[in-house]
Homo-oligomer: A and B are copies of this chain.
């Protein structure tokens, strides 16, 4: 069998390849390991919960409205730490560069990473650089890994019946913006990626109440994340379409592109299941930070095993787990 693009698209098809790629007998260092397929691993060391995670970034183009590969590289890892409940502490920067790449562009990328590190409160403390011959890579790939400390670790598999579901902001911005920009579409206003560290809003939310489960809706979008959370938790979800925040401009662009904005990557958002009695406190805490200004309660956890959306015209439809993100090289 050969690898195809859907194997890297964050959906059900990628899940099949992961069976091969995660076939390690040495897959756990004492806490939450590879078997959980969560956003990161948790390693208890001397009384601290150290969270470890990694993401590589192959986005095209390298510079796009709202961000660039540098900002994305820092936020990717920071956000997987954050949704495990961990304060991001230290990151690695591993660059694989094609011969002929511009050193000025590298400097721009590094400056953008540094800016995102400042927003997240983390540092790049070590790295690696490989250069490959012209033609054997198109430009640059950046991998980051990172560690954080979780005072109260949060999983993606621990939704409870009765929980309310929060989306920390509008959905679909990153994937739809990247694709529109790549296709050269104009929609009156320029669409922007949402790429941002979510730790600042998660830190406030954790202080405000009881978060039962979290995940960042990256490749495969909200649809992949909410289905994974429901499936792993053994629950159903009931969503209210009118409450799901999607920018009007993003919705129009998505319609024209023929793409579901709930199936594309977000890079500055978090989906939470929270104790209903803490809803007001957590929602105001998130909204008190610009990154969480559009946060909304969009549904609730019910018994069952499916994700159902009550539509604005009074009907119901299933939100299915996507086979993969429809936008390639989005992160």
Q: CB distance B8 to A129 under 8 Å? A: yes
**Within residues 9 to 55 of chain A, which ones have a CB less than 8 A from any CB in chain B?**
9, 14, 17-18, 20-29, 32-34, 40-41, 43, 45-48, 50, 52-55
> Is residue A202 contacting chain B, with contact meaning CB distance below 8 A?
no
Known: A26-B124, A54-B94, A141-B141. A106 touches B21 (CB 8 A): yes
Chain B residues near A7 (CB, 8 Å)? 97, 129, 131
**Alpha-carbon distance A43/B91, docked complex (angstroms):** 11
Chain B residues near A103 (CB, 8 Å)? 1-3, 17, 20
Known: A2-B103, A7-B131, A103-B3. A92 touches B126 (CB 8 A): no
Known: A3-B97, A20-B107, A94-B55. A27 touches B125 (CB 8 A): yes
Q: Tell me the smallest distance from the CB of A95 to a CB of chain B, in Å.
A: 6
Partner-binding segment picked from A115-123, A185-193, A311-319: A115-123
> Is residue A327 contacting chain B, with contact meaning CB distance below 8 A?
no
Chain A interface category by residue count: 35 or more
- Mask for A61-75, Cβ within 8 A of B = 1, else 0? 000000000000000
Known: A101-B2, A103-B1, A145-B92. A27 touches B132 (CB 8 A): no
> Is residue A320 contacting chain B, with contact meaning CB distance below 8 A?
no
Number of copies: 2
Q: Tell me the smallest distance from the CB of A152 to a CB of chain B, in Å.
A: 15
Known: A24-B117, A114-B26, A136-B137. A147 touches B97 (CB 8 A): no
Known: A48-B46, A56-B94, A114-B25. A127 touches B20 (CB 8 A): no
Q: Tell me the smallest distance from the CB of A7 to a CB of chain B, in Å.
A: 5
> Is residue A328 contacting chain B, with contact meaning CB distance below 8 A?
yes
Q: Which single residue of chain B is at the shortest CB-CB distance from A51?
A: B126
Chain B residues near A257 (CB, 8 Å)? none
- Mask for A130-165, Cβ within 8 A of B = 1, else 0? 111100111001010101010000000000000000
Neighbour of A43 across the interface among B90, B95, B145, CB < 8 A: B90
Q: Tell me the smallest distance from the CB of A97 to a CB of chain B, in Å.
A: 5
Q: CB distance B95 to A126 under 8 Å? A: no
Q: Which positions in A face B, CB cutoff 8 Å?
A: 1-9, 14, 17-18, 20-29, 32-34, 40-41, 43, 45-48, 50, 52-58, 89-90, 92-104, 106-107, 110-111, 113-114, 117-118, 122-133, 136-138, 141, 143, 145, 147, 149, 328-329
Known: A3-B100, A17-B103, A143-B143. 9 other contacts (CB 8 A): A3-B103, A4-B131, A8-B130, A9-B131, A24-B113, A28-B125, A34-B125, A41-B90, A56-B128
